[in-house]
Structure 1
Amino acid sequence: MFEQFSSGYYLGRLYVEPYGGDHAVMHRNHHEQVNEQLYDGKEAPLVMKIGSAHVPVHSADDVPGRTVGLPESALSAAGVENPPTLQEVLLAKADRAKQLLGLAPDSPARPDGAADGPAGF
Structure 2
Amino acid sequence: MNLCYRCFQVFRILHSITDNLDAVRTITQDVIQEFASDNVKYLELRTTPKNIPNKMTKKEYMDTVLEAAVEAMKKSNIRVCLLLSIDRARGVEDAWSTLQLAKEYLTHIVSQDT
Alignment TM-score, normalising by the size of structure 2 = 0.30
- Identify which of structures 1 and 2 has the higher relative contact order when contacts are C-alpha pairs closer than 8 Å and 6+ apart: 1
Higher helix share: 2
Alignment TM-score, normalising by the size of structure 1 = 0.29
Higher strand share: 1
